Amino acid sequence: MSAKPTPLSGFPELLPAARVVEREVVASLSRTFELHGFTNIETRVVEPLDRLAKGGEIDKEIYVLRRLQAGDEDGDSGLGLHFDLTVPFARYVLEHAGHLEFPFRRFQIQPAWRGERPQEGRYRQFTQADVDIVGRDVLPFHHDVEVMRVMVDALDALPIPPVSFQFNNRKLIQGFYRGLGLPDVTVAIRTIDKLDKLPAGTVAELLVSDAGATPEQAQRCLELATIRVADTSFVDRVRALGVDDPLLDEGLAELAAVVEGCAAGGHEHVTVEANLRIARGLDYYTGTVVEIFMAGYERLKSVGGGGRYDALASDGRSTYPGVGVSFGVSRTLIPLLADGVVAGSRPVPSAVLVAVTDEETRPASTAVADALRRRGIPCEVAASAQKFGKQIRYAERRGIPFVWFPGDPAGPGGDQVKDIRSGEQVAADPAAWSPPEEDLRPQVVVSNEEKKQ
Amino acid sequence: MSAKPTPLSGFPELLPAARVVEREVVASLSRTFELHGFTNIETRVVEPLDRLAKGGEIDKEIYVLRRLQAGDEDGDSGLGLHFDLTVPFARYVLEHAGHLEFPFRRFQIQPAWRGERPQEGRYRQFTQADVDIVGRDVLPFHHDVEVMRVMVDALDALPIPPVSFQFNNRKLIQGFYRGLGLPDVTVAIRTIDKLDKLPAGTVAELLVSDAGATPEQAQRCLELATIRVADTSFVDRVRALGVDDPLLDEGLAELAAVVEGCAAGGHEHVTVEANLRIARGLDYYTGTVVEIFMAGYERLKSVGGGGRYDALASDGRSTYPGVGVSFGVSRTLIPLLADGVVAGSRPVPSAVLVAVTDEETRPASTAVADALRRRGIPCEVAASAQKFGKQIRYAERRGIPFVWFPGDPAGPGGDQVKDIRSGEQVAADPAAWSPPEEDLRPQVVVSNEEKKQ
């Protein structure tokens, strides 16, 4: 350990003031999830490789674990780091089903790992916040509305730029395509999903060449995909396209219920839309789907997403349908911190630095600190008995707003506390004085520019 | 995912009610650390292998990471999962030194991994809570007292059986051995460390055969090692052994200061002792050392430990001395949970289940829940509009103490809330009613037997 270490690409690490922001975001998400009755779990970070590789196919860059000492032959543990929180959650539900009550409502905020090439918003270690409801064999649709609304509430409470929830419904798309008479609905969905990257004309050609659509069918698919509204008026617009199918009806009703349920409640930083081009590539979604975007950070693509899956897991006797949504904590915060959009107000929890007159009276300073702590005021005692001016600068460098000067027990002067920002200094009793509420703990500071948005 | 998964040995996972306990323990530790002005950091879970293998020697079972897709030749990432929080912290300090203020006071609560054979108290994934103070080039001794006192305060506040902090000091041991004229002080320390496992007579023989002591010197080493007191009377007892050395004097003064500093403050569940046989095997300790034991769980050996190291890290220009102590969260909690000594009062955060009369009025029930949440009361809405008796049993199975019955908006009856433990049912207003404070959140329940201790 003799040279300065270099950062590891894709493994971002936060300095203390930035970590203040991350902790407050995690605490805020947890508060909202718990207000809605979701219980927290944490899963181990490893899963057997065959569970990470669903159906034998592995399309993620998984990190596999090998024990260093075990020698080559049996060092491979057969374990890999999880690449999301859905696979471990599904396994947790199956493994512990006998001890859980269904519907099981849980949230989980943990890191996950992918051996991908690092880029902005894509890291090799990243923290996600997932909230899901899982039923045994059945899970009524109203839980779709419920779980999406929880995430809307949760993100509305965060100190981040406005986000947009863009909903669609797989039944709607599938019913529309089926009613339209498309021969290969699955390929059509995958093709429409490319509208982000390809011009509409190219997508129409691909629908004809790959999904077997007629040019007229391709046109209607594009018309469906361009519908994007912030209310339930999409229902009439889809109806106007003249396609009939019972699955389409079901999808329209579900999407309308999700949009209405999430738009209610007067959120300040969240907008809710039906966006009929949202498909989400993953095959296991079967109803509601959502992607979440952040204003000014569209380049990150979605900062979250999720949906309904009719078979999150199955153990042969029971099937576990689920609905959930995931928020990318690292993907969102690391660019915001880098851009200075959010910051921690100070890198230490201390609201007060208790000065030390000389080493002999350090116990008196410690006694002041203990008295403040008993009343919940975070503080620290100066590291050395330098001149008071130096101790004040020690506090300044750490962003500690107050410096406490213990009185001379032998003399007439009592304790004093100084607000080092204003310079104001007043007599104070460690058993009674408190800092203003906003100084008690480090705060998340949102840049003014952002507030104006 | 078709079969029921089997648990992975050494990777314990908690059910929701047990997780309540773990979260409260982590929150309580964090509260204490922050009251003392320690800032939280989180490091990435991986370190380069050469950093994990200090000086080329690897004595821990490290998990090495390989990228699955990369092919055999370049899949090995050169990275391993950290096996403690000290190595990553030392690297963090070196990497970010330019952005940190020294002395740097941090706490860190994260998992670590070792590929060891699992046994009680020893897991392959386990959570630790570390608190350290690190200086640049210098770190005054008073920080030893400070950081140990923080952990004493932190463990005193936890819902666990009483713990004992057993302190010693490397300078005291080394000075004593040197003053005694022992030829090989290092081997002598390692030999005395075996007093846990071997009878005193055997240790005395080893001191003669391995450390080159005379039988009389070996006898004095054993006499030193049997001194164990809960105050500073050890100073006179060591003096009575008639050994003189300036390093011994320094060690005696430091140990006395640590014992006095930690014994002060009226802790209820923590005892503090000087135990002069504590050595801690690791070579890098240079002053204060501590091991922590839990009453009734001596079989786990220590549940925590730490000490002073004069060179936690070095980058060629600066050396970073540190002092810290680590608490084994998993090692402590998993046996306590298994034995039923501690438990969560319920597996869900919800204090209230809002009943649903029929699916048409679900929005009214949701509105009640929203009103309760706005005042910070965690609640959930019943999953289905079963008969009220069934909805009450739904709450019972989850340990939710209250069921809320929305009034009929068309009829004369208003809302009512029932305490399902007592059966008491009263009229209530969702904008005004609150549960008793102790029902608001899940609590950690400590078994009565344990309380009597």
SS (H, E, C) chain A: CCCCCCCCCCCCCCCHHHHHHHHHHHHHHHHHHHHCCCEECCCCCEEEHHHHCHHHCCCCCCEEEEEHHHHHHHHEEEEEECCCCHHHHHHHHHHHHHHCCCCEEEEEEEEEECCCCCECCECCEEEEEEEEEECCCCCCCHHHHHHHHHHHHHHHCCCCCCEEEEEEEHHHHHHHHHHHCCCCHHHHHHHHHHHHCCCHHHHHHHHHHCCCCCHHHHHHHHHHHCCEECCCCHHHHHHCCCCCCHHHHHHHHHHHHHHHHHHCCCCCCEEEEEECCCCCCCCCCCCEEEEEEECCCHHHCCCEEEEEEEEEEECCCCEEEEEEEEEEHHHHHHHHHHCCCEEECCCCCCCEEECCCCHHHHHHHHHHHHHHHHCCCCEEECCCCCCHHHHHHHHHHHCCCEEEECCCCCCCCCCEEEECCCCCEEECCCCCCCCCHHHHCCCEEECHHHHHC
- B240 and B358 in a single domain? The answer is no
Residue B126 lies inside a defined structural domain of this protein: no
Domain count, chain A: 2
- B241 and B308 in a single domain? The answer is yes
Q: How far is CA B328 from CA A229, B111, B218, in A?
A: 53, 10, 34
- A44 and A74 in a single domain? The answer is yes
* Of residues B12, B19, B37, nearest to A41 (C-beta): B19
Secondary structure class of B322 (helix, strand, coil): strand
Contact A229, A256 (CB under 8 A): no
Question: A377 at the B interface (CB within 8 A)?
Answer: yes
Contact B129, B157 (CB under 8 A): no
- The C-alpha angle A367, A371, A377, rounded to 5 degrees, equals 125
Report which of residues A439 and B53 the model is more confident about.
Answer: A439
Residues in a beta bridge with B213 = none
Residue B129 lies inside a defined structural domain of this protein: no
* Cβ within 8 Å of A, B 142-181: 142-143, 146
* pLDDT confidence of residue B452: 43
Q: Hey, of A24, A66, A109, which one would you mutate to test binding to chain B, going by the most B CBs within 10 A of its CB?
A: A66
The nearest CA of chain B is from the CA of A11 a distance in Å of 6
What is the dihedral angle through the alpha carbons of B240, B246, B248, B254, rounded to the nearest 10 degrees? Answer: 120
- Among candidate residues A453, A373, A371, A358, the one with its CA nearest the CA of residue A409: A358
pLDDT band at B451 (very low <50, low <70, confident <90, very high): very low
- Among candidate residues B171, B227, B170, B217, the one with its CA nearest the CA of residue B195: B227
Sheet of B163-169, strand order: B39-40, B104-113, B125-134, B319-328, B304-314, B288-294, B163-169, B270-275, B228-229
Which tokens is B431 given? 């904008």
- A245 and A366 in a single domain? The answer is no
Region B406-422 average pLDDT:
86
CA A209 to CA B199: how far, in whole Å? 84
pLDDT band at B10 (very low <50, low <70, confident <90, very high): very high
Contact B4, B14 (CB under 8 A): no
pLDDT in tens, chain A (453 residues): 457 888 999 999 999 999 999 999 999 999 999 999 999 999 999 999 988 886 555 566 889 998 887 655 556 778 999 999 999 999 999 999 999 999 999 999 999 999 878 777 789 999 999 999 999 999 999 999 999 999 999 999 999 999 999 999 999 999 999 999 998 888 998 898 888 889 999 999 999 999 999 999 999 999 999 999 999 999 999 999 999 999 999 999 999 999 999 998 789 999 999 999 998 876 689 999 999 999 999 988 899 999 999 988 888 899 999 999 999 999 999 999 999 999 999 999 999 999 999 999 999 999 999 999 999 999 999 999 999 999 999 999 999 999 999 987 666 679 999 999 999 999 999 999 999 999 999 999 998 655 444
The nearest CA of chain A is from the CA of B433 a distance in Å of 16
CATH number at residue A433: 3.40.50.800
* Of residues B3, B90, B379, nearest to A1 (C-beta): B90
Residue B53 lies inside a defined structural domain of this protein: no
Residue B408 lies inside a defined structural domain of this protein: yes
Question: B4 at the A interface (CB within 8 A)?
Answer: yes
Residue B237 lies inside a defined structural domain of this protein: yes
Residue at B65: amino acid letter: L
- Looking up tokens 């002073």, which residue turns up? B308
- A175 and A265 in a single domain? The answer is yes
- Among candidate residues A271, A325, A268, A333, the one with its CA nearest the CA of residue A300: A333
- B314 and B399 in a single domain? The answer is no
CA B243 to CA B252: how far, in whole Å? 12
Q: For the purposes of burial, counting CB atoms within 10 Å of the CB of A396, is it exposed (0-12), middle (13-18) or buried (19 or more)?
A: middle
Q: In this predicted model, what pLDDT tens digit does every residue of B231-255 receive, in sequence order? A: 999 999 999 999 999 999 999 999 9
Phi/psi at A228 (5° precision): -150, 110
| ipTM at complex level | 0.95
Please determine, for residue B116, whether its predicted confidence score (pLDDT) is greater than 70: yes
pLDDT band at B122 (very low <50, low <70, confident <90, very high): confident
CB contact under 8 A, A8 and B54: no
Question: B34 at the A interface (CB within 8 A)?
Answer: yes
Question: A137 at the B interface (CB within 8 A)?
Answer: no
Please determine, for residue B271, whether its predicted confidence score (pLDDT) is greater than 90: yes
The nearest CA of chain A is from the CA of B368 a distance in Å of 12
- Among candidate residues A411, A439, A413, the one with its CA nearest the CA of residue A426: A413
* pLDDT confidence of residue B66: 86
CA A154 to CA A170: how far, in whole Å? 25
Q: How many Cα atoms within 13 Å fall on the side-chain side of residue B111?
A: 22
- A214 and A76 in a single domain? The answer is yes
- Of A343, A365, A400, which one is at a domain's C-terminal end? A343
Residue A10 lies inside a defined structural domain of this protein: no
Question: A99 at the B interface (CB within 8 A)?
Answer: yes
- Among candidate residues B302, B293, B305, B297, the one with its CA nearest the CA of residue B336: B297
Question: A119 at the B interface (CB within 8 A)?
Answer: no
Secondary structure class of B273 (helix, strand, coil): strand
CATH number at residue A237: 3.30.930.10
Contacts of A345 in chain B (CB under 8 A): none
Phi/psi at B143 (5° precision): -70, -25
- B380 and B411 in a single domain? The answer is yes
Question: A91 at the B interface (CB within 8 A)?
Answer: yes
Question: A85 at the B interface (CB within 8 A)?
Answer: no
Which tokens is B296 given? 């009734």
Show the domain range for B182: 16-41+134-342
Compare all CA atoms of chain A with the CA of B383 and give the residue at the minimum distance: A103
Q: In this predicted model, what pLDDT tens digit does every residue of B195-220 receive, in sequence order? A: 888 999 999 999 999 999 999 999 99
Q: In this predicted model, what pLDDT tens digit does every residue of B319-343 receive, in sequence order? A: 999 999 999 999 999 999 999 999 9
Count of C-beta atoms within a 10 Å radius of residue B172:
29
* pLDDT confidence of residue A342: 97
* Of residues B7, B68, B370, nearest to A61 (C-beta): B68
Non-local (6+) Cβ contacts of B185 within 8 A are: B174, B177, B178
Question: B77 at the A interface (CB within 8 A)?
Answer: yes
Residue B99 lies inside a defined structural domain of this protein: no
* Helices A142-156 and A246-263, packing angle to 10 deg: 30
- Looking up tokens 């500073």, which residue turns up? B232
- Looking up tokens 């999904």, which residue turns up? A211
- Of A297, A322, A343, which one is at a domain's C-terminal end? A343
Residues in a beta bridge with B195 = none
Q: Using only the alpha carbons of chain A, give its radius of gyration.
A: 28
Residues in a beta bridge with A288 = A169
Which tokens is A171 given? 């039944």
- Of B314, B342, B370, which one is at a domain's C-terminal end? B342
> Where does B240-291 have alpha helices with state H?
246-263
- B376 and B328 in a single domain? The answer is no
* pLDDT confidence of residue A59: 63
* pLDDT confidence of residue A74: 54
- A380 and A336 in a single domain? The answer is no
Question: B393 at the A interface (CB within 8 A)?
Answer: no
Q: In this predicted model, what pLDDT tens digit does every residue of B55-104 receive, in sequence order? A: 555 566 889 998 887 655 556 778 999 999 999 999 999 999 999 999 99
- B189 and B237 in a single domain? The answer is yes
- A296 and A210 in a single domain? The answer is yes
Count of C-beta atoms within a 10 Å radius of residue A238:
22
Residue B399 lies inside a defined structural domain of this protein: yes
